[in-house]
Structure 1
Amino acid sequence: MTHSLVDEIMERLVRSYEAARDPERAVSAAAYMRDQFAFLGIASPARRALDRVVRAGLPAPTEEDLSAVATACWERKEREYQYFACDWLRAHVANAGPNFLLTAHTLITTKSWWDTVDALAAHVVGGLVARHPQLRVEMDAWVEDDNMWVVRTAILHQLNYRQETDTDRLFGYCTRQAGHPDFFVRKAIGWALRQYARTNAEAVRGYLSQQGHVLSPLSVREAAKHL
């Protein structure tokens, strides 16, 4: 391969995405996201099919490759490129070391909205912390951050941990941010608790009985939805 991996991926990606551009669908997709981002107008199933072709035959990426490709995708105007980066990082998070958390932080705090932040929180940051437990202390700092998307990430990073969930951290984070003024943080609290209730409903019931009075009605409603 004469190009670097990032060059090869971006050339394939731009070529594939441009050929699939749908201006009419792009308008509706942008409207759904409150016109914060431009879109190519590629539906998710079609985009993921294109992504599989783009990734075919490529070597395993290094941590540097992961950072370079994600950065290149974040620099593109259309949102689908950021979706590709989130899916690619999710697939290769095992190749990243603890220092990759710095890159994840940059992605979370740039072009921030729930669609990319949640994917990065649950599948990238969550994967990093699971593989590098020393990063738990970073989550303790993130949950107190001034940036609401960083706070949301800390609350959601254990979303897929199931029996491996650190309940002291989960419940502690929810209590510490119970009065957060932003909808997206209060919603994340309810979502994190509801998800953990699928694994340990009694623990979530117990937490709500003891601390539900400090949570927002939104958080409690979301948490108890399936209890």
Structure 2
Amino acid sequence: MHPFVIGIQKSFQIHANPSLALGMKAYMLHQFEFLGIKAPLRDQLTNTYLKSNRLENWESLEIVMKELWALPHREFQYFAIDVLKKHKSLWTANSVDLMEYCICEKSWWDSVDGIASEWLGTYFIQFPRLVPKIPNKWNKSDNMWLQRSSILFQKAYKTNTNQELLTKYILHCKDSQEFFIRKAIGWALREYSKTNPDWVSQFVAKNTLSNLSVREALKRINKLG
């Protein structure tokens, strides 16, 4: 195992809390094991570790990422999301292959949404020539987590949101029965409503979306009255 991974394992294991781990595992519907390190402490340990431990090339980074993703405790996947974000200077166009791997392996809303928030938005700004090629592929995929990622990657783009792509990806998935797709549609629209509420209101009015998607999309607009 890579020394970088061994080091964070030791740091996290010192702070493991089995009683907290039980509740965290239950919250995630028993999908994963946990050490029992809550987010504030985990963030503190992560920041301290990354200040004094850096990786120098993409090859090492990819090895570390896959080793972290293979570990059984979920905190290491959260740590991995921070690691790749902190090393974005090493990203290349081909880094999307690793990102896709992490979306598709050990998939659940916590990791997929973390990836959308911390990697994908930045990645597609850094490598715009891959838009719409990669998001198109994900949106047409049979993997709902890739579909969710295609819908959510623009959620922090504000005025730079590509309305045409957002529309295309939502309409392609709007009839999905998957809770996490319906929720993603509403979330993406709600975020964009902070920038362009009129567009979101009109979009919801003229397209047949699930009740969940509509409720989430209009939550902020309705709150403001």
Structure 2: gaps spanning 5 or more residues: none
| Residue pairs, 1:28-39, within 5 angstroms | 28-39=23-34
* Cα displacement (A) at 1:94: 4.1
Change (3 A) 1:74 1:59: closer
The one-letter code matched in structure 2 to 1:149 is W
Conserved? CA contact 2:175–2:210, under 8 Å: yes
**Corresponding position: 1:124 with 2:96:** no
Give the aligned length.
220
Q: Which amino acid aligns with 1:202?
A: D
Per the alignment, residue 106 of structure 1 pairs with 101
Q: Counterpart amino acid of 1:49?
A: Q
Mean Cα deviation higher: 22-31 or 124-133: 124-133
- Deviation at 1:90? 2.2
Q: What TM-score comes out, normalization by structure 2 length?
A: 0.93
Q: Secondary structure at the match of 2:195?
A: coil
> What secondary structure sits across from 2:2 in the alignment?
helix
Which one of 208, 216, 223 corresponds to residue 210 of structure 2?
216
Is 1:55 the counterpart of 2:50? The answer is yes
Q: Does 1:27 align with 2:22?
A: yes
Provide structure 1 residue ranges, at least 5 long, that are not aligned to the other structure. 1-5
Instruction: Say whether the 8 Å CA contact 1:20–1:42 is kept in structure 2.
Output: yes
- Measure, in 2, the Cα distance between the counterparts of 1:94 and 1:195: 27
* SS of residue in 2 equivalent to 1:127: helix
Contact 2:55–2:61 (Cα < 8 Å) also in 1: no
Cα distance 1:82–1:143, how it changes in 2: closer, same or farther (>3 A)?
A: same
Any idea what the Cα deviations from partners look like across 1:129-163, whole Å, max 9, x if unmatched?
11111221110111111010010011001111111
Q: Percent identity?
A: 35
Give the equivalent residue in structure 1 for 2:144: 148
Distance 1:94 1:174, change over 3 A: farther
Letter in structure 2 aligned against 1:204: V
Pairwise CA RMSD: 1.4
